[in-house]
Amino acid sequence: MDAAASFGVRNFGRINLGDSRRTDRVVKAADAMCRHPGGTLPSKFPRPADLRAFYRLMDSDIVTHGVLMQAHSQETRRLVTEIAGVVLVIHDATELDYTTKTSLELQLGQIGDGTPRGYICHNSLAVALVTDSTGVVVPETLGLLSQILHHRPRVNKDETAKETRERESRESRLWVRGAQACGPAPKDVECVDVSDTLSDTFEYMAYEIAQQRHFVLRARENRRLEQPMGGHRYLFEAVRSLPSSGSKTLKVQTSPGRKARTTEVQIAFTPVCLALPGKKSGDYDSQPLNLWAVRVWEPNTPTDEEPLEWILLTDCPVTNLEQAFERIHWYECRWIIEEYHKGMKTGCGIETLQFVSIQRLEPAIALISAVATTLLRLRDAARAPDAAYRPAVAVVDPVYVAALASCYPGRLKGNPTVLQFYMHVARLGGHQNRKGDGFPGWLTLWRGWTQLEAVVIGFTASPATCGKT
């Protein structure tokens, strides 16, 4: 596939929909959404004819969520095979709320506290760890390897433990299903599944080991150990009794009860053997799990802040501090999928879709979800350490660079860098570029990008007039 091809062509140009005109329409729809990602469908398709064509496309029985997502995931897998190093597959779920769509009420499942209606959307996002031109390892978003739209079913209150364990719709199965849908790692590529506390199930970890996958997750359950460690029978007490093996500086993300900050954390690690749960609640072999545990904790927490502590579990060996740092970095990258979910909702307005049946809604979700990955690629390029040296034309169409430069005469002369380009894109999105403003967030960058799209149209039509009053 030509690297210069559009996003639509690369992701959907080879899809078989029974008619080449449908394929062309999917490609055009994806590229149109990349140009106008925000807002409702009329905002994404300003021309009424294009909007009507999109609705007709979604009305086609052959155009399904599975078909569109498979096409995108195949392109993501192709990108994974080109990586010489580690690829993180970050798994997490978000709720898509369509409660106001009364026509869908009986077709959707419960979300939240049970009153809202929608999907549990389980995403598996591939993020490569690549070395940039300055020698720094940075994350680069590749795309989705899987997306599962889960309907939370109504369950019989008298359901037995055996019936729960065997029920295919059990929500805890999503972690295994997501890993299964991603497929095996390509030859010579180290793929690592990364997830948060909700994935801490014995079933999921046992599956990862049985399938010879690699993983790192944050522990939630204080599990019993097969053999006591330092006189402690349970995981949390055992690892908390370990002395620090070193320290590192950690960037803490904003979360409930915690503000973004940079802090110094201590690190300890040890091999552990997790005993079988006393009550079987999943599908797994009756064998204990030999893993490694890494504890990360903040000894000095700012006033009024929640102390930071991570207890990570992984099947990847942690025998020295360097390996511990690497496993911690893998888990730090989990935050990328949180930003992706913001991109789906805030950036691309995925919850604004108006359809009267899930058969039409779900393929639209797949298409927008694929487009939303481009927001993260935009952010990755802007934040990479080599952004201040790398020419903008290396990652952006030269027409966009020229269009932006013509709107800032005297500021973007010659061959602007990636950083210069994106800081001026952010200015279009409302960022003031003052010293105290900090680096623009990806939503600001994306708002600026949508403004630049309009500039490009005017620039290509009449370049001499762009930026002039």
Instruction: Quick: pLDDT tens for 120-137.
Output: 999 999 999 987 767 778
Whether residue 259 is predicted with pLDDT greater than 90 in this model: the reply is: no
The band of 466, judged by pLDDT with boundaries at 50, 70 and 90, is: very low
132, burial (CB in 10 Å: exposed 0-12, middle 13-18, buried 19+): middle
Report the CATH number that the domain containing residue 422 is assigned in CATH. Answer: 1.10.740.10
Q: Is 420 contained in some domain?
A: yes
Residue 336 has pLDDT above 70, yes or no: yes
Cβ-based neighbours of 180, under 8 Å, separated by 6 or more: none
Q: Which residues, other chains included, contact 113 with Cβ-Cβ below 8 Å and sequence gap of 6+?
A: none
Confidence band (pLDDT; 50, 70, 90) for 335? very high
> In the chain, how many domains are there?
1
Does the residue 280 lie in any domain?
Answer: no
The answer as to whether 425 is a domain residue is yes
Residue 397, in any domain of the structure: yes
Is there a domain that residue 18 lies in?
A: no
Give the pLDDT confidence score for residue 215 in this predicted structure: 98
Place of tokens 């999105």: 429
Q: What is the pLDDT of residues 356-384, one digit of tens each?
A: 899 999 999 999 999 999 878 877 777 77
Q: Decide: helix, strand or coil at residue 207.
A: helix
Q: What is the C-alpha separation between 393 and 386, in angstroms, rounded?
A: 14
- The range of the structural domain enclosing residue 421 comes to 390-465
User: Average pLDDT of 4-24?
Assistant: 92
- Asked if residue 454 is part of any domain, the answer here is yes
> What are the structure tokens assigned to 410, written together?
């005297």
pTM of the full predicted structure? 0.89
